[in-house]
């Protein structure tokens, strides 16, 4: 009998808000957050128009707000952020995830968001996301991995579970960044928890 793997996108699927914008605002406060968006708006707009790589635009945002922060301080910020923002989790999404875990299935959150702030929201699930680079225990402002978006979600899942013919994959997503993962799955759910 095949094992069952459930792969969930995070932002927009398990949450009702974008966690990147939320943590930037939480960390920087309104004034610095808006100033950062204004300064980086050319890259943000070009990314939204498909004229600039969205991973590089996100990395610029991350660098502006977090470069030079000690990794321990960043991880503590991520834990506090998750504790204060549990309201953004979609109850039906979390219920589906926990039901899959209770049945003994493997559950993975495959997200373009940074692993450090996603993991504290759902500590019992494995998180595969964008990883950040650290040197001498300090954030460099750059990403260690490719942005976990689009085809990269499939690549990262296959790196974990390469024996594709030996498992049934159920995937949940809500955006164009999830389409490759949904197409790769045996069972796909697009915007499954939006009735809340």
196 has pLDDT over 60: no
In this prediction, residue 49 carries a pLDDT of: 86
- How far is Cα 33 from Cα 27, in angstroms, rounded to an integer? 8
In this prediction, residue 50 carries a pLDDT of: 85
Identify the sign of the CA torsion 130, 133, 137, 141: negative
In this prediction, residue 62 carries a pLDDT of: 96
User: Taking CA 129 as the corner, what is the angle to CA 128 and CA 131, rounded to the nearest 5 degrees?
Assistant: 115
Q: How confident is the model at residue 2 (pLDDT cuts 50, 70, 90)?
A: confident
Q: What is the pLDDT of residues 117-148, one digit of tens each?
A: 999 999 999 999 999 999 999 999 999 999 99
- How far is Cα 128 from Cα 42, in angstroms, rounded to an integer? 29
Contact 171, 187 (CB under 8 A): yes
182 has pLDDT over 90: yes
Q: Helix, strand, coil % (nearest 5) of the chain? A: 50, 20, 25
- Give the strand order in the sheet containing 3-8: 126-130, 106-114, 3-8, 167-173, 187-190
pTM of the model: 0.92
Q: What are phi and psi of 163, to 5 degrees?
A: -80, 65
């Amino acid at each position: 009998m095949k094992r069952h793997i459930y792969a969930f996108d995070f932002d927009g699927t398990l949450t009702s808000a974008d966690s990147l914008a939320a943590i930037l605002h939480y960390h920087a406060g309104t004034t610095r957050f808006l100033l950062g968006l204004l300064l980086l708006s050319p890259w943000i707009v070009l990314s939204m128009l498909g004229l600039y790589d969205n991973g590089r635009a996100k990395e610029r945002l991350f660098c502006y707000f977090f470069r030079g922060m000690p990794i321990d301080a960043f991880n503590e910020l991520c834990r506090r952020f998750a504790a204060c923002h549990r309201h953004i989790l979609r109850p039906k999404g979390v219920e589906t995830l926990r039901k899959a875990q209770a049945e003994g299935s493997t559950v993975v959150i495959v997200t373009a968001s940074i692993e450090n702030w996603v993991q504290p929201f759902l500590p019992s699930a494995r998180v595969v996301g964008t990883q950040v680079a650290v040197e001498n225990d300090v954030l460099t402002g750059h990403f260690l991995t490719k942005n976990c978006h689009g085809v990269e979600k499939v690549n990262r899942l296959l790196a974990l579970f390469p024996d594709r013919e030996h498992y049934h994959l159920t995937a949940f997503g809500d955006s164009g960044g999830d389409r490759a993962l949904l197409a790769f799955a045996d069972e796909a759910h697009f915007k499954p928890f939006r009735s809340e």
